[in-house]
Chain A
Amino acid sequence: MNDFEIPATESTPLIRTDRTAGRLEMSGDSYPENSFELFQPVIDWLAGFLDQVLQPLTLELKLMYLNTSSVRAMMDIFDALQDAHERGQAVTVNWRYDRDNERVADLAAEFKEDYTFPFEIIPGS
């Protein structure tokens, strides 16, 4: 479960993990053709963290446009957080978005409906 950082590209977000801080960060657009290849390291890191580390985890998102396969991959990530939450581990999602882009807020709100851990949708500029 080593930390990693994947720089952003035109169609993929910046992804950065920080085990010590208990933080996973993703920011940018996500519309690769093969989203599962992109998100597998995230899912693996998350599984390792939630399994081995007892401290709280915060998922910091500044995701903007997501294609449907990225949406599907995000569901797997949130499901893992939900399982951890149900086991009593502290997990939080902060999803920041540009207040002009209501599509991002809509997408985040639809996800939030399905989970019971703290899920903040934070407008900014």
Chain B
Amino acid sequence: MEEVDVLSLREAFSRQGIMLGFNGPFSATLMEEIGKALRKHMEGLSESPSAITDVFSAYIELSQNIRHYAASSGVSGAAAEATIIVSRDEAGHYVVSAGNVVLHDDGEALVARIGELAALDRAALKAAFKTQMRQPRDPQAKTGAGLGLIDLARRASQPLACSVKTLDPQHAFFSLRVVI
């Protein structure tokens, strides 16, 4: 294994405008604490409550999607882990990126769904959100019933971007980037 080089990691973080990053297994409590830190940091930068809400929301929806997926998918081990990054791009936009290990087919289904959402304008996204909200809920389901991705697309200033990279015949690494 490569030796940890803290300085080069720090330099990579700085180069990519990364404010806050997490990689590894994460609990609900840890997720809340990171979210709290993110809000405090943005308040310190005197960002508007709306901007803070959008970034915080993207962070929460992405992390909860990953935790729900890990709990339901039967992907063991690495699936309970996530990589979540909050950064700023050259234009000053906040960017929330997240990735996790998924089953191949699940990854492909997500790419297709995100492609559909990318084609929708604001009004169509709002309509999609309301339609999805009215879908009958599985009594066993604990999640927002597919609302998360639409909500992310609505808060983003650009279409959602995602990628799937094959890890082995069953698994792939799915990542999603939300520019606020």
Please determine whether chains A and B interact with each other in the same assembly.
yes
Taking Cβ atoms with an 8 Å cutoff, the residues of A that contact B are: 10-11, 31, 33-37, 64-65, 67-69, 71-72, 75, 98, 100-104, 110, 114
Interface pair A71/B147, CB less than 8 Å apart = yes
**Which residues of chain A are near B54, meaning CB under 8 Å?**
103
* Among B36, B53, B142, contact of A36 (Cβ-Cβ < 8 Å): B142
* Among A11, A65, A100, A102, contact of B57 (Cβ-Cβ < 8 Å): A65
CB distance from B69 to the nearest CB of A (A): 12
**Chain B residue with the shortest CB-CB distance to A74:** B133
Quick one: which of A36, A68, A75, A104 has the most chain B CB within 10 A?
Answer: A68
* Among A101, A110, A114, contact of B50 (Cβ-Cβ < 8 Å): A101
Q: A33-B68, A33-B142, A37-B142 are in contact. Are A71 and B49 (CB under 8 A)?
A: no
User: For the complex, is B41 an interface residue (Cβ under 8 Å from A)?
Assistant: no
* Among B28, B49, B61, contact of A100 (Cβ-Cβ < 8 Å): B49
Taking Cβ atoms with an 8 Å cutoff, the residues of B that contact A are: 28, 32, 36, 48-50, 53-54, 56-57, 60-61, 64, 67-68, 126, 130, 133-134, 137, 142-145, 147-148, 151
**Which residues of chain B are near A110, meaning CB under 8 Å?**
126, 130
**Which residues of chain A are near B134, meaning CB under 8 Å?**
75
Interface pair A68/B142, CB less than 8 Å apart = no
**Which residues of chain A are near B50, meaning CB under 8 Å?**
100-103
**Chain A residue with the shortest CB-CB distance to B67:** A33
Q: A37-B142, A72-B145 are in contact. Are A11 and B32 (CB under 8 A)?
A: yes
**In whole angstroms, what is the CA distance A110 to B126 when docked?**
9
**Which residues of chain B are near A68, meaning CB under 8 Å?**
61, 144, 147-148, 151
* Among B48, B61, B126, B145, contact of A67 (Cβ-Cβ < 8 Å): B61
Interface pair A72/B137, CB less than 8 Å apart = yes
**Which residues of chain A are near B137, meaning CB under 8 Å?**
72
**Which residues of chain B are near A37, meaning CB under 8 Å?**
142
CB distance from B172 to the nearest CB of A (A): 24
**Chain B residue with the shortest CB-CB distance to A72:** B144
CB distance from B45 to the nearest CB of A (A): 15
**Which residues of chain B are near A101, meaning CB under 8 Å?**
49-50, 53
CB distance from A105 to the nearest CB of B (A): 10
Q: A68-B151, A69-B144 are in contact. Are A10 and B28 (CB under 8 A)?
A: no
**In whole angstroms, what is the CA distance A72 to B64 when docked?**
15
Q: A10-B32, A33-B28, A67-B64 are in contact. Are A103 and B130 (CB under 8 A)?
A: no
Quick one: which of A64, A69, A102 has the most chain B CB within 10 A?
Answer: A69
CB distance from A106 to the nearest CB of B (A): 9
**Which residues of chain A are near B151, meaning CB under 8 Å?**
68, 71
CB distance from A10 to the nearest CB of B (A): 5
